[in-house]
Amino acid sequence: MKTVRNSLLNIFLIIVSVSIGFGQEPPDTNYDENKVPEYQLPDPLVCIDGRAVVDAEMWRVVRRPEILSVFETQVYGSIPSFQTHLRFELTGSTPNALDGLATRKEIRIRLFEEEDAPWIDLLLFVPNKRKGPAPVFLGLNYGNQGVHDSPTIAASRNAHGKRGEHAHRWPLELLLKRGYAIASFHGGDIELDRHGSGCRFTTDGWLKGVRYRILKQSRIIERTDDQWGSISIWAWGLSRALDYLQTDPMIDGKRVAVFGHSRTGKTALWAGARDERFALVISNNSGQGGAALARRRYGESVAASYSGSGIWYCRNYNHYGYNESALPVDAHLLIASIAPRPVYVASAEQDRWSDPRGEFLAAKHADPVYRLLGKTGLGIEGLPDVNNPVGDSIGYHIRSGEHEITPYDWKQYLDFADRHFGWK
């Protein structure tokens, strides 16, 4: 009987995967609050062995590391030890970009000694009218040429987007005039996500990137169930970009905000949790696998997310589809692991797939850790009104509109960064 059930489940997951590949939601997607199952969240201040976290030292030495360890082995995948050979090459510089508003740099971040190994092409805009090194927002893009329509920006390899295609998500003038630099690179530099026509996810993109190179170097041709998926390698890449930014005299390397939207929002949260050098973390509409509680099984579920894009996670995560209560962690612990550093979670009213209420609740239930560490976290009980930003060290808003990053979102992030960076 168990074999039959497993076979039926596998057939269903294949159907779901095909559906998501063509941009459709699986047929069992829940958008009814009355159908959210009862659940109990893991207490952020109770260790796996049952001990209560009584002070900041115990959080830092015991509880936080065990939370990160579970996310590594059960959700995003562990990163194996390997040698890098970082080198930074300036491949382009425009001192008076955007009508003199910024200096534009293009930096090739060599990751390994071999010239043909994967590398990162970082696109950086720094405000020319700045007082000292500039704080910076760092995030992934879908091709450097999509950030702005300038014909002189070198197109990212493995990216097929049009010039300026995603410029609406990168309001360069707004950020630069507020005194912030902007840095980004194509996640496909180190691991492909999608390719070909339509919205079909590639399942072999990792064979062309950093992960496969490392396994091949170790003479291993198959990753284990707890090893890193795409989110972990992209997060690792964000840390390598941070390595560069901390060497650039035009950048304040201690005031680097990592941000992302949708799947790159999931990545930003994981990068910020893993690397404490990121001073501020922003998640825009990241949903399940990011800021939304998996246990709610609302909108994007674990089963749907893994079926359609299992390349993002480690294989162990598949065990928790329709079995979320067995998952030893949830999104509130991911947010809590960033404490005491500020983190901003943003939702959109019509983006039900990303579960706005689940994102808010995750932020809310991270509060106890921030309080333990002497910070005010979110500080409210109920979901705020639309277009009414709230919070302190944990910021949150739900805006009108759909799954997107908008000028309204960016205004909140800039105000949040101003406050926490002491920039204004």
Q: What is the pTM of this model?
A: 0.92
298 vs 31: CA distance, rounded Å:
6
Residues of the chain with pLDDT under 50: 1-22, 195-202
Q: Can you tell me the distance from the alpha carbon of 228 to that of 79, in angstroms, rounded to the nearest whole number?
A: 6
CA distance linking residue 134 with residue 85, whole number of Å: 27
**pLDDT reported for residue 161:** 85
pLDDT of residue 308: 86
Evaluate whether the domain defined by 76-421 bears CATH number 3.90.1150.10: no
- Residue 160 is predicted with a pLDDT of 81
Token pair in block for residue 346:
């943003």
Cα-based angle 204, 209, 213 (whole degrees, multiple of 5): 105
* pLDDT of res. 203: 54
* Per-residue confidence (pLDDT) for residue 309, from 0 to 100: 87
Q: Cβ distance 136 to 255 under 8 Å?
A: yes
Q: Is 403 a catalytic residue?
A: yes
Q: Choosing from 160, 195, 319, 403, which is the catalytic residue? A: 403
**CA atoms of 320 and 317, how far apart (whole Å):** 6
Nearest to 286 by CA among 308, 260, 324: 260
Contact between 97 and 104 under an 8 Å Cβ cutoff? The reply is: yes
Say if CB 310 and CB 303 are below 8 A apart.
no
Dihedral sign for Cα atoms in the order 287, 289, 293, 295: positive
Q: What is the pLDDT of residue 18?
A: 36
- Residue among 407, 406, 382 nearest 396 (CA): 382
List the catalytic residue out of 17, 156, 230, 262: 262
Any idea of the CA torsion for 116, 226, 314, 317, to the nearest 10 degrees?
A: 180
The pLDDT of residue 364: 98
pLDDT score of 423: 59
Question: Comparing C-alpha atoms, which of 274, 278, 268 is closest to residue 345?
Answer: 268
- pLDDT value for 82: 85
